[in-house]
Amino acid sequence: MLFEDGKIVIDEIAPKEKFFGMFRNDTRYKSQSNGKSIAAYILGHAVCKGYIESVDLRLNDWPILENTLYYDQKIIDLLNMNAGDHKYVKSNSFFNSNRNITNPTIKMTMKNELKNSKKSRNKFNYSGLPPHIILNYMIFKIGDEKFEQLLNEIFTNKVKTEYSSFFFNVEAATSYDRSLYGALSVTRYDYLRIAKAMLDDWQNDTCEGKFLKDIFNKRIKKTAKYVNDRKNHKSLSKTREYAGFFHTGYSGMKDRPVMGMDGYGGQSILIDFEKGRIVATMAVHFNYNWKKIVYDPIKKGK
Nearest Cα to Cα of residue 179 among 167, 166, 161: 167
Q: How many domains does the chain have?
A: 1
- The yes-or-no verdict on residue 231 having pLDDT over 70 is no
- pLDDT one-digit tens code per residue, 90-119: 988 999 999 998 889 999 999 999 999 999
Tens-digit pLDDT profile for residues 173-226 = 777 787 887 778 899 999 999 999 999 999 999 999 999 999 999 999 998 777
From the list 246, 288, 298, the residue with the least C-alpha distance to 265 is 288
Amino acid at 26: D
Rounded Cα gap, residues 96 and 113, in angstroms:
7
Amino acid at 31: S
- Is the predicted pLDDT of residue 233 greater than 70, yes or no? no
With left for phi above 0 and alpha for psi between -120 and 50, is residue 194 left, alpha or beta? alpha
For residue 232, pLDDT beyond 60: no
Partners of residue 260 on adjacent β-strands: 247, 270
- Give per-residue pLDDT as tens, 26-58: 988 888 888 999 999 999 999 999 999 999 999
126-155 pLDDT tens trace: 999 999 999 999 999 999 999 999 999 999
The residue length of the chain stands at 302
Position 250 scores a pLDDT of: 92
- The closest of 127, 130, 135, 118 to 173, measured between CA atoms, is 135
By the 8 A CB rule, do 296 and 253 touch?
no
Helix axes 144-152, 34-48, angle to 10 degrees: 100
Distance of CA 179 to the CA centre of its chain: 17
Residue 266, sorted as left (phi over 0), alpha (psi -120 to 50) or beta, turns out to be left
CATH number at residue 291: 3.40.710.10
**pLDDT of amino acid 283:** 86
CA gap 287, 118 in Å, rounded: 40
pTM given for the model = 0.94
Please state, as a whole number, how many other Cβ atoms lie within 10 Å of the Cβ of residue 146.
15
What residues make up the domain containing 19?
A: 2-300
Distance CA 14, CA 70 (A): 43
Torsion sign over Cα 181, 263, 37, 218:
positive
- CA atoms 240, 189, 266, 94: torsion sign: positive
CA distance 8 to 91: 34
Predicted pLDDT at 230: 58
Is the confidence at residue 229, as pLDDT, over 80? no
pLDDT at site 279: 97
Q: What is the C-alpha separation between 13 and 71, in angstroms, rounded?
A: 45
